[in-house]
Chains A and B, each alone.
Chain A
Amino acid sequence: NAGVTQTPKFQVLKTGQSMTLQCAQDMNHNSMYWYRQDPGMGLRLIYYSASEGTTDKGEVPNGYNVSRLNKREFSLRLESAAPSQTSVYFCASSIQGALNEQYFGPGTRLTVT
């Protein structure tokens, strides 16, 4: 099993460009999450999907959109990238909800210039 996979691993964008970060899990988990991690700060939840067909905002949703394409895949879209979105993005999954342990993908390092 690959666990949680993310693409791309690295990306550089210019301000105003758009892109989609892809995430997939093969553990048959119901819940999936997108986080960002900035230096000196804990991971902050951007959006989550408790189950297929549902998505909800987390702590820092502004500037992002998500799509739960099916049970396996959960994508994060930046419509108009800003330098403040320079960060490391992690996707995670859990069997059901945040009360259970989460498993993380390897991350995407995004730089917006």
Chain B
Amino acid sequence: RKEVEQDPGPFNVPEGATVAFNCTYSNSASQSFFWYRQDCRKEPKLLMSVYSSGNEDGRFTAQLNRASQYISLLIRDSKLSDSATYLCVVSSSASKIIFGSGTRLSIRP
């Protein structure tokens, strides 16, 4: 079993739709959680950190469920510019970090 698992997609949704991704992790000692966005042939860029209480940044909402060991990302009112690969990242210590393989999202007009 991979330490961090994501549905690879692709998710193909119309502009304006709401879409959600989950990411599961196996290490119960994990402490920090992030969502990164990666455009084709570009570097990953931090989208948002994920806090225990959940957090929101504009159209994006991230949640953490420690009991079931998953994090989620919800995108509301999706835009064409949201098309990208979304990487789930889990860290259990200052030196241990695991990236998921990513979920591809395509927004169609």
Contacts and interface: CB of A to CB of B under 8 A. Distances in A.
Given A98-B32, A101-B46, A103-B46, A43 B99 contact: yes
B contact patch SS:
strand
A105 B43 contact: yes
A74 interface: no
Query: Among B42, B45, B95, B96, which residue has the most Cβ atoms of chain A within 10 A?
Result: B95
Interface residues of A, number: 24
A31 to B, nearest CB: 8
Contact of B95 (A35, A56, A107): A56
Contact of A96 (B94, B96, B97): B94
Interface in B36-60: 42-46, 49
Given A98-B94, A99-B91, A42 B99 contact: yes
Given A41-B101, A42-B4, A102 B31 contact: no
Interface string B10-51: 000000000000000000000110100000001111100100
Contacts of B31: 99
A3 to B, nearest CB: 10
A102 B46 contact: yes
A109 to B, nearest CB: 8
Contacts of A101: 34, 46, 49
Interface of A: 31, 35, 40-45, 48, 50, 56, 90, 96-107
Given A43-B44, A100-B32, A107-B42, 9 more contacts: A40-B101, A42-B99, A42-B101, A43-B99, A50-B95, A97-B94, A98-B96, A101-B34, A106-B42
